[in-house]
């Protein structure tokens, strides 16, 4: 929930909230642009093409696991250490840090699941100005050029990626502060000074920054000879970087907030050139199309977790979460760049084809754009030009990506694919896979800010019963707590929380309550008193507990970077600590960017101090991950390690997928917000966050009936399915828009429940292999260029293609069916369509265009009941969609739906279904698993099958039984009734 008017707040807090935007639109003035972010401005001011850095190749140290080479900035004389690893699984790691820093620099912990196993490196070539390293058995080679420093990664004769080809390596070394007039100016005065200088020097060159001066020096040396760097560990001289520092380097003011910078400027940056790539994706969260646009004419994409009030669409502004993973895709291969840095980060994207294609510029939608000036332009060494010649000459499409972070080190992983699924697996090997959720979490969730009291909860639950709409979870927002003191209940509204939870559990339903990481400052509040006494709060730069304004009023913020604090937080979810809680109560972590209404950009001051003495600027994007991590651990601990948690988090970072679900935040009841939910969740999935959804109906404003119905239809086909709304909106439970619309919503929800076996199996695939559940078409059809920019339709796993209706008054949609030589079946009419083609599909209000891929088997449970738990013993139907070759395959994962026994005790079934030679067979896909379940096969529907003379069941004991069947000729569909075999048994059904 973003800070917004309408909440019941203390006067001072209400004023702060109103400052975030009195109208229902984002107030951009509350959030920085690149020009207002000092380090981004400094880095963007660096001229590309002339790097001041030289690789001291004679310093090479080649160990069994890594190569280490010193770099020198030939202007500042500051040495850096370059470390290189070839990693198993087709990955390369590059790390650059100071060789002799004045103090340690932050290196991101707890994101990688372990130290990645390495390949042995070898020197395979060397001359006066370059060095070639072999990175392992996959044939990758890294060419390190001495001056200017550059690296080129090749496989055979193919150049995959160049590093620092634009010459934009930027590393602000730690230094002692020098007293000077500009240092003593506040950032606001400095800004005024910049404007004055602009007025008087508009037509004359400004003084170069340290990096620009270094670049110029490097250019002069390149033209006039080579000068030795001197002592490799030489400290910077008095006349280099410090003398050229801009106002704001040691102190920066934004609006009324001053950021003291005791460590001075510490930003890092690096560019990557990707020849042959025109399409890049990822780096969520942005309300943006799936394919990222170039950043000419506007700001870079920003990664800085923020509570943004009613965010704008098609905008590079930062939102609630950040994953610094960018994917590049072409018909030849897929490649990923994972930039492991948790500080504020900006990402510039440039392309040599940007002005030659149709696209959108910042500030408008659609239309053609002319030739644009890129934010930076690369240059080529002689080696780069030679590679172009080797690869056939001509203008190769190229995308250049530049990363800029405020602090920390450069630590980057190149994920070399080459297939899309391989890149997903490589990222998962580094950061982990999507946690396998409890089965109930895949059902429908009903939420609102706020259900008023226990009577209101009971009435809503009864409404689902009376209107036959399945529902697994009811949610409580901040008003349920006693004065917004989390881990408590309002004694007048929720006097008997345990009884309320038990009543829901009797109907096989669960509840989620909100627990935010801002703690009301109240000496009588046990949670606050204990946090303060233990010293577990984030500190100010002066050492006192950091406090700011949030929903409770004055609030303090637990330091989740402290492992002791996280352990304490986890202990608070024990049943004897969280009074009134039961095993059916789960958790929602909101506002965990962290949101601070009174803070700069509605978040925590960057000079606040965390565990270990690190500044908030170093750890900012980790905060939300740590909140979700500690909460999930608390749920696991309360069950003695037996049960899987469910935690929804608004803020996230790389690795958050290991702890639960995420969503797209405080959206709006508008058609464009419905439409953007698709590319946003697709981007989340590409970044490992497979359990994603959007607030059905929109959080702000009131949807009309058409929009609400269409949103239910779309939301039912996204991984996380929850309706949620602002307290100032009209009530919108599914039955409140008339019976006709209630029936349409009921149909959408029931479709979700019928497909639960397929969804749960897709989650298992994601959990095991790191692949997205909701995935763009190009992941399955990587050579089909038509799919590269499609983001209004998608695949669920690999078998179902979905095109939700997202246009008001739509009478039809254009659906692209990919796959040369493949077929797709309409899941309602069973009509077969040959691919590839673009198909016009007429729609009515009941239509959800969905197609099953020929060659797949989709399991369903069609006896839909009130909740997932009620359906766990119900029989299954298999939908077998035949390929043109008459084959199909699919699988089904089954376990108890709630425990870790599938992992710790191998209590699961993973069944494989294969259709070939007119025979459907069932066998074990993983013989390690064993799970006793009575569930059985009720029906088999074979799409595209001819009429057989007989259908025979052959169980594992060798007997034969004739089965009843029905055949429809047009379109051809064979329905086999009641085979009656158990889903865990081996068997065959033969068409004769």
Ordered DSSP codes for 173-241: ---PPPP-HHHHS-HHHHHHHHHHHHHHSTTSPPPPPHHHHHHHHHHHHHHH------STTPPPPTTSG
Query: What 3-state DSSP class applies to 76?
Result: coil
Residue-level pLDDT at 78:
97
Residue 686, classed as helix, strand or coil, is helix
Give the up-direction half-sphere exposure of residue 755: CA atoms within 13 A in the CB hemisphere.
Answer: 24
Burial 577-593 (b: 16+ CB within 10 A, else e): ebebbbebbbbbbbbbb
Average pLDDT for 403-415:
98
pLDDT of res. 374: 46
* Percent of the chain with pLDDT strictly greater than 90: 84
Confidence of residue 625 (pLDDT cuts 50, 70, 90): very high
Contacts 24+ apart (CB under 8 A), 100-105: 100/233, 100/235, 101/173, 101/174, 102/174, 102/175, 102/176, 103/174, 103/263, 105/174, 105/266, 105/407, 105/408, 105/409
Distance CA 190, CA 526 (A): 45
756-769 and 420-431 helices, crossing angle to 10°: 70
Mean pLDDT of 535-562: 98
Any idea what the Cα angle at residue 647 is, between residues 565 and 893, rounded to 5°? 130
Rounded to the nearest integer, the mean pLDDT of the chain is: 90
What pLDDT is attached to residue 179?
62
**Residues pairing with 951 in the sheet:** 991
For the stretch 803-823, pLDDT in tens is: 999 999 999 999 999 999 999
- For residue 246, pLDDT over 90 is answered with no
Considering only CA atoms, which of 374, 407, 853 is closest in space to residue 617? 407
Burial of 379 (0-12, 13-18, 19+ CB in 10 A): middle
Whether omega for the bond prior to residue 148 falls within 30 degrees of 0, making it cis, is yes
Strand order in the sheet with 800-802: 774-775, 794-796, 800-802, 850-853, 823-826, 832-834
Look at residue 158 and tell me whether its pLDDT is greater than 70. Answer: yes
pLDDT at 981 over 50: yes
Check residue 223 and give its pLDDT. Answer: 33
Average pLDDT over residues 393-408: 90
Nearest to 339 by CA among 270, 419, 276, 289: 270
Which residues share a beta bridge with 801?
795, 851
pLDDT of 967 reads 98
**pTM of the model as a whole:** 0.92
The pLDDT assigned to 69 comes to 98
Per-residue model confidence (pLDDT) at position 248: 84
The pLDDT value given to residue 244: 59
For 368-396, how does the pLDDT look when each residue is reduced to its tens digit (9 = 90+)? 222 233 466 565 444 555 555 555 555 78
CB atoms inside a 10 Å sphere around CB 360: 14
Give the residue carrying structure tokens 């107030």.
Answer: 27
Q: What is the pLDDT of residue 356?
A: 52
Provide the pLDDT confidence category of residue 88 given band limits of 50, 70 and 90. Answer: very high
Separation of alpha carbons 599 and 255, rounded Å: 10
- Report which DSSP code applies to 895: S
pLDDT for res 358: 34
Q: Is the pLDDT of residue 284 over 50?
A: yes
Q: For residue 359, what are its two tokens?
A: 């696209």
- The yes-or-no verdict on residue 201 having pLDDT over 60 is no
Closest CA to 638 of 561, 687, 573: 573
- What is the model's pLDDT at position 314? 97
Classified as helix, coil or strand, 454 is helix
d(CA 153, CA 168): 17
H or E stretch covering 750? helix 739-754
**pLDDT for position 377:** 58
Residue 218: pLDDT above 50?
Answer: no
What average pLDDT does range 948-976 have in this prediction?
97
Per-residue pLDDT at 247: 81
The Cα 88–Cα 116 span in angstroms is: 7
The two tokens of residue 600 are 């700069």
| Dist CA 207 CA 215 (whole Å) | 13
Between 364 and 938, name the one with better pLDDT: 938
The model's pLDDT over 424-465, given as tens digits with 9 standing for 90+, comes to 999 999 999 999 999 999 999 999 999 999 999 999 999 999
pLDDT for 950: 98
Contacts of 824 (CB under 8 A, 6+ apart): 801, 817, 832, 833, 835, 851, 852, 853, 854
Nearest residue to 85 via CA among 340, 273, 348, 279: 340
Which residues are catalytic, by number? 590, 666
User: pLDDT tens-digit profile of 495-515?
Assistant: 999 999 999 999 999 999 999
Give the pLDDT confidence score for residue 395 in this predicted structure: 73
Please state, as a whole number, how many other Cβ atoms lie within 10 Å of the Cβ of residue 254.
Answer: 20
Q: What integer pLDDT is reported at residue 26 of this predicted model?
A: 87
pLDDT beyond 80 at 217: no
pLDDT in tens, 328-372: 999 999 999 999 999 999 999 999 987 553 333 322 223 222 223
Give dist(CA 588, CA 650) in Å, integer.
9
Of the listed ranges 176-180, 209-213, 715-719, 886-890, the least confidently predicted one is 209-213
Kindly report the backbone phi and psi dihedral angles of residue 179, in degrees, each rounded to the nearest multiple of 5, phi listed first.
Answer: -75, 125
Q: What is the pLDDT of residue 297?
A: 87
């Amino acid at each position: 929930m973003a800070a917004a008017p309408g909440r019941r707040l203390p006067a001072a807090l209400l004023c702060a909230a109103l400052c975030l935007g009195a109208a229902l639109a984002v107030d951009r003035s509350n959030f920085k642009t690149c020009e207002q972010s000092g380090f981004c401005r400094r880095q963007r001011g660096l001229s590309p093409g002339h790097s001041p850095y030289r690789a001291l190749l004679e310093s090479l140290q080649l160990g069994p696991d890594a190569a280490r080479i010193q770099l020198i900035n030939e202007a500042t004389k500051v040495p850096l250490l370059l470390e290189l690893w070839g990693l198993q699984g087709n990955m390369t790691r590059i790390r650059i840090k100071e060789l002799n820093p004045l103090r340690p620099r932050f290196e991101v912990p707890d994101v990688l699941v372990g130290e990645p196993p390495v390949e042995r490196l070898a020197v395979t070539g060397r001359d006066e100005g370059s060095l070639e390293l072999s990175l392992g058995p996959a044939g990758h080679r890294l060419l390190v050029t001495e001056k200017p420093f550059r690296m080129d990664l090749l496989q055979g004769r193919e150049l995959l990626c160049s590093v620092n080809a634009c010459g934009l390596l930027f590393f602000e070394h730690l230094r002692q502060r020098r007293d000077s007039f500009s240092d003593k100016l506040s950032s606001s005065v400095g800004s005024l000074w910049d404007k004055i200088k602009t007025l008087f020097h508009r037509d004359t060159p400004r003084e170069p920054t340290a990096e620009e001066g270094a670049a110029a020096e490097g250019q002069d040396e390149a033209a006039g000879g080579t000068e030795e760097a001197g002592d490799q560990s030489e400290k910077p001289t008095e006349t280099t970087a410090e003398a050229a520092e801009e106002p704001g380097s040691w102190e920066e003011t934004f609006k009324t907030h001053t950021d003291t910078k005791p460590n001075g400027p510490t930003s890092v940056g690096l560019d990557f050139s990707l020849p042959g790539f025109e399409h890049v994706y990822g780096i969520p969260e942005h309300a943006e199309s799936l394919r990222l646009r170039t950043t000419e004419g506007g700001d870079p994409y920003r990664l800085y977790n923020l509570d943004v009030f009613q965010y704008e669409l098609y905008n590079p502004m930062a939102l609630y979460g950040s994953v610094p993973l960018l994917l590049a895709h072409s018909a030849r291969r897929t490649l990923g760049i994972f930039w492991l840095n948790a500080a504020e980060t900006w990402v510039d994207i440039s392309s040599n084809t940007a002005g030659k294609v149709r696209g959108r510029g910042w500030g408008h939608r659609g239309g053609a754009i002319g030739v644009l000036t890129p934010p930076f332009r690369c240059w080529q060494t002689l080696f780069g030009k030679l590679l172009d010649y080797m690869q056939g000459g001509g203008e190769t499409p190229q995308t250049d990506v530049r990363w800029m972070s405020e602090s920390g080190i450069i630590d980057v992983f190149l994920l070399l694919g080459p297939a899309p699924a391989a890149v997903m697996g490589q990222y998962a090997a580094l950061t982990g896979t999507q946690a396998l959720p409890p089965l109930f979490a895949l059902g429908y969730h009903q939420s609102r800010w706020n259900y008023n009291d226990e009577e209101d909860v009971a009435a809503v639950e009864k409404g689902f019963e009376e209107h036959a709409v399945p529902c697994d979870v009811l949610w409580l927002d901040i008003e349920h707590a006693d004065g917004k003191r989390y881990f408590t209940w309002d004694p007048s509204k929720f006097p008997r929380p345990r009884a309320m939870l038990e009543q829901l559990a009797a109907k096989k339903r669960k509840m989620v309550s909100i627990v935010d990481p801002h703690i009301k400052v109240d000496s009588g509040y046990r949670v606050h008193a204990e946090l303060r006494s233990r010293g577990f709060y984030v500190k100010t730069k002066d050492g006192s507990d950091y406090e700011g304004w949030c929903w409770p009023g004055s609030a303090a913020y637990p330091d989740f970077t402290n492992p002791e604090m996280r352990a304490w937080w986890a202990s608070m979810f024990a049943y004897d600590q969280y009074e009134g809680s039961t095993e059916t109560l789960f958790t929602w972590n909101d506002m965990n960017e962290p949101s601070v209404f009174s803070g700069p950009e509605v978040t925590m001051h960057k000079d606040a101090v965390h565990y270990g003495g690190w500044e908030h600027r170093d750890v900012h994007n980790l905060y939300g991950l740590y909140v979700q991590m500690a909460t999930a651990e608390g749920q696991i601990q309360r069950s003695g390690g037996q049960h899987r948690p469910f935690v929804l988090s608004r803020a996230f970072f790389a690795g958050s997928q290991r702890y639960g679900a995420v969503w797209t935040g405080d959206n709006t009841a508008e058609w464009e917000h419905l439409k953007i939910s698709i590319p946003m969740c697709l981007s989340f999935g590409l970044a490992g966050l497979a359990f994603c959804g959007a607030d059905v109906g929109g959080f702000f404003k009131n949807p009309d009936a058409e929009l609400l119905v269409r949103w239910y239809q779309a939301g039912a086909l996204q991984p996380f399915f929850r309706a949620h709304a602002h307290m100032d909106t009209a009530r919108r439970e599914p039955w409140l828009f008339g019976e006709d619309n209630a029936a349409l919503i009921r149909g959408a929800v029931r479709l979700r429940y019928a497909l639960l076996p397929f969804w749960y199996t897709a989650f298992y695939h994601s959990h095991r292999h790191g692949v997205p559940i909701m995935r763009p078409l190009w992941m399955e059809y990587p050579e089909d260029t038509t799919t590269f920019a499609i983001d209004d339709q998608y695949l669920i796993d690999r078998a179902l293609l979905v095109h939700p209706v997202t246009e008001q008054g739509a009478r039809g949609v254009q659906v692209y069916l990919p796959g040369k030589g493949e077929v797709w079946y309409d899941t309602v009419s069973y009509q077969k369509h040959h691919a590839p083609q673009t198909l016009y599909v007429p729609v009515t209000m009941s239509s959800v265009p969905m197609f099953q891929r020929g060659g797949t088997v989709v399991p369903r449970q069609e006896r839909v009941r009130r909740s997932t738990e009620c359906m766990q013993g119900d029989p299954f139907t298999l939908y077998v969609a035949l390929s043109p070759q008459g084959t199909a395959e699919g699988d089904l994962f089954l376990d108890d739906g709630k425990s870790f026994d599938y992992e710790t005790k191998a209590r699961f079934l993973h069944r494989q279904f294969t259709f070939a030679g007119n025979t459907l067979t069932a066998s074990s896909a993983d013989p390690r698993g064993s799970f006793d379940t009575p569930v059985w096969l009720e029906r088999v529907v074979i799409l595209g099958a001819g009429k057989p003379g007989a259908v025979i069941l052959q169980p594992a004991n060798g007997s034969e039984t004739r089965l009843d069947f029905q055949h429809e000729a047009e379109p051809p569909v064979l329905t086999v009734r009641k085979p009656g075999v158990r889903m865990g048994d081996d068997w065959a059904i033969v068409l004769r």
